[in-house]
Chain A
Amino acid sequence: MELLNALFRSPPWEAVRLGLHLAFGLALLFWLWQALQLRSVVPLKHLARPRAWLLPTVGLIGLCLVAILGYQATWQLGGTARPQFIAFMQSHDRRQFNPAHWIQRGRILDQRGQVLAESRNRGGAAERVYPFGSVFAHAIGYADPRFGLSGVESMANPALNGSTLDSLGDWGELGRQLLTQSKRPRGQDLVTTLDAGLQQAAVEQIASAKGIGRGAVVLMRPADGAVLVMASVPGFDPNQLHPTLFRGGDPATPLLNRATQGQYPPGSVFKVILAAQALENGFRGRLDNPANGYTTSSRYRPIRDHEYYEAQRSGRAWAGHGVLDLTTALAKSSNVFFAQLGVLGGHRALAKTGERFLFNRSIAFVGGPSGTVHLQAAQLEPIPERDRYGLAQAAIGQGRVTTTPGYMALVAAAIANDGVAMRPRLLRDTAPEVLGRFMSADTARRLRVMLRRAVTDGTGQGIETAGLEIAGKTGTAENPQGASHSWFIGFAPASAPRLAFVVLVEHGGYGSTVAAPIARDLLLKAAEQGF
């Protein structure tokens, strides 16, 4: 025994072991060869001649074994070709020597090449680092052995792991690296459509805005759906994930991506959709808007314009907007006008608009190799025929209708893009996809003019900036939780839009004084950078 232990402890043992492994394999092969020789040595002459079925049966079993071995090889040797498998091992395999752990995930970059996520080597294992902390928590997501994958990290997982390789040469190289363990295999870098500077500015603006410092900003290119900013505040730090985060219970819901999943009453920004519906249906008329408001039945409180309440508060008298056409009503954001317009259009028209505008759907971003991120559209369950007041309320973006900020950006982008909504994209090297036509090009053109008027002569006057040519619609959405949500959606420049945006500040108050200036500041910054 001591001899054995001494042998095992002696320095050359490690080398001997390697030799012994080789010897073991060779000895097995030699044994097999000898066993085959034996067939001629002991021909079993005292037994009968073999039956005819022997060969086919042997062939069948051999075939099964070869097939199983071949399939085994696709996992054991070609496992890199299975992105889900690699992801499983990265999350759930505790073997330190598993090559899946050595794969250094590719970096995630913004469109200017700024690093949003990268892998660093710490103690043999790759550690994921997010230089911007919580700023991109929802857009980029996280890749964590314990908590899995989310956001771009999830939708581009195979590329980041290096398993969507273009040429056979790439495959060979990765295989060689894994086999020889000479070099750390590395995934591909991934360029997103995001812009770090604008995103950071958006997050800071929301966090310091009036209200409780929560909200969302989305900035996208109408022509191809590229998302430059997708901010949701508050975020969380993906560098320091903790189980309590996933347990929920935090009233600030930092895990929720407000931009794509947060449902809010849209308030007046929803009037844009109503205006589109009216234009599509050929509405060119005028409506009278009495100061006393409009209701469908004396049992319900009349819907009034906010000027009415302002006048009441200051003890003045207000005569009402009087007779308005659609352009002016949209610029002034008249509740009375749009409530009437909604009821005038009817239930069926709104349902049809909802279908065209993809209400109640989950809209997928342009997908990465393994799945994608989704954006919830506006939610509006069918309003019963009898409920005309509900229809009036929905028409001004209150009551049964809710929406995510990201969806309103999509609507603004569709108006800016001649009525065609492009599917939102986060990865630069994906091809633009058409999501659908929300309205005719003519309607879109008219709406562009109207929304420009809303900034020059209407509720958005406060942010009119020379050179930006902003077009947009403010929103001040009442909600049962507290102060109104502050909205602003739109695009710029109005004549040839390059950017479409949404800004939502939870409980921020008036859209014109809280959300709109944030949008203007972002557009200014974007203009500085040449967008």
Chain B
Amino acid sequence: MARRGTPISISDYWQLRAPERRLLLWALLIALLGYLMLLGAGPKDGLDVQFAALVPFLIYLGTFVSAHLLLVLARFRGDQLLLPLTALLSAIGLIAQARTGLFAAAALDPAKLIPLPLGVALMLIFAIAGRGGRYRLATRVTWLWAGVSLLLLALVLATGQRYRGAVYGFGFITPTELLKLTMVLFTAAFIDQHLKRLSRWRSLLPPLRTLWPLLLVWGLVLAMLLVQRDLGLVLILGVMLLAVLAAGTRHSGYLAYGLVLGGAAGVALVSFFAHGQRRVEVWLNPFSDPTGAGWQVLQGLSGMYAGGLWGEGFSEARPRYTPIAESDLIYAVWAEELGFAGSLLLVLLFALLLIRLLSLAARARTPFGLMAATGVAAVLSVQTLLNIGGVTKALPLTGITLPLISHGGSSLLTVFASLGLVLAISDGEPVKRRSTQATGVARR
């Protein structure tokens, strides 16, 4: 390294981001291994591997290599683990999706290839544009985020079509996925603006006079989501709100009120809505209607049971017998192919991602950064737990995608954009302010 202290030149950053590069290269190698084994099963069935079958992998490879280079070029100081971790999880997603026949060489659909590079590009845009503390510009348009959220929901309600119990937009795009980002931004920005007053409680009463706009927007959003029966998203966003409130204001009263209200709402939902009741019944006893309501989860579990401890191996399982394999139940496909051991590894990766997001949130320099990162971490945590729990029957099946693994453009884009936001936050504050502090980034 040229100098101790603040890195200046591109080559300094090239060296600074060497750990990221090393992890990324390893991740790409692992991805290559997996993809090779995936392809290797083709000739067994008498089919030659076409060049087209390699295209998804090459796109993947190019995307992440250029992502790293761009971060170096942009003199990005932020976290170095998120990118390789994202690359590894995306590789698993790529392999699992290829197994469900998404990238059949005969009909390579650009629409199915584009979400990954687009998502990574979005992540980079967020990370680079928001680095050096500029992410705080988001607080200037607090009500834009609320407006976008409400508009999206209203649009979906007005034009969407019902499918599998939920409401979808045109062409089965789920615009409500975007709420996972806009609501985080709105909540964090709003609390950031009223932080002092919000953390001042009058004995047991929260400062409702300051809180009401937030509650109003949230009430509208949750109500519209309930009309659409998107219980999974309601849960994800609800936990996120509580996490952000509690982490931002450092007042545990929000958590207590939230848990009580949330619990009551949950009980009410289950006892008054036939839809919720049925879900819970099927969850508790899928064998009461094995070929109907219990079919999805039981087929997923059957696949996992067939996979056993070590799994059948890449391309050896029969994920086509698993319903909605490419999105909601993709975890079952992975567990079927690579067994319990494989799913253990996947869960470890997710644990690492969530822990990393949380620690980045816990170390953010600004309250807004703290809250935004906490929001993203909460959304991804609940989403991961709900999906894996649903597939393994530990929780009711809620129709939630598995972040980075499931196919689904809007879900993937939102996750990448959220990760970009956290990356930006992890970049810290402007250099000027930092110069007074120890900024050693040298490797030991």
Contacts and interface: CB of A to CB of B under 8 A. Distances in A.
Interface of A: 1, 4-5, 7-9, 13, 17-18, 20-21, 23-25, 27-32, 34-35, 38-42, 44-51, 53-54, 57-58, 61-62, 64-65, 67-69, 71-73, 75-77, 79, 84-85, 88-89, 92-95, 97-100, 178-179
Given A53-B247, A53-B362, A34 B26 contact: yes
A151 to B, nearest CB: 19
Contacts of A34: 22-23, 26
Nearest to A28: B345
Contacts of A72: 304, 335, 340, 343, 388, 392, 394
Contacts of A67: 394
A27 B33 contact: yes
B365 A47 contact: yes
A50 B298 contact: no
Contacts of B23: 31, 34-35, 38
A1 B358 contact: no
Contacts of A47: 360, 363-365, 426, 428
14 contacts: A5-B43, A17-B313, A21-B37, A24-B33, A24-B37, A27-B29, A28-B345, A31-B26, A41-B444, A68-B347, A72-B394, A85-B301, A98-B302, A179-B308
B393 interface: yes
Interface stretch (B110-118, B180-188, B260-268, B433-441): B433-441
B352 A61 contact: no
Contacts of A9: 43
Interface of B: 19, 22-23, 26-27, 29-30, 33-34, 36-37, 39-40, 42-44, 48-51, 54, 77, 79-81, 84-85, 88, 246-247, 287, 290-291, 298-299, 301-309, 312-314, 316-318, 321, 335, 338-345, 347-352, 354-355, 358-360, 362-365, 370, 381, 385, 388-389, 392-395, 426, 428, 434, 437-441, 443-444
A283 to B, nearest CB: 50
B341 A95 contact: no
B308 A1 contact: no
A463 B342 CA distance: 73
B355 A58 contact: yes
Contacts of B437: 46
Contacts, number: 227
B290 A92 contact: yes
B363 A76 contact: no
Contacts of A64: 385, 389
Nearest to B77: A46
A513 B27 CA distance: 87
A4 B27 CA distance: 22
Contacts of A68: 347, 385, 388-389, 392, 394-395
A20 B363 contact: no
A35 B312 contact: no
B80 to A, nearest CB: 5
Given A31-B26, A65-B385, A42 B50 contact: no
B280 to A, nearest CB: 17
A88 B298 contact: yes
A473 B306 CA distance: 57
Given A35-B23, A47-B428, A93 B347 contact: no
B188 to A, nearest CB: 15
Given A4-B49, A76-B305, A179-B309, A71 B80 contact: no
A512 B440 CA distance: 107
A27 B350 contact: no
A442 to B, nearest CB: 48
A28 B30 contact: yes
A217 B61 CA distance: 75
Contacts of A54: 358-359, 362
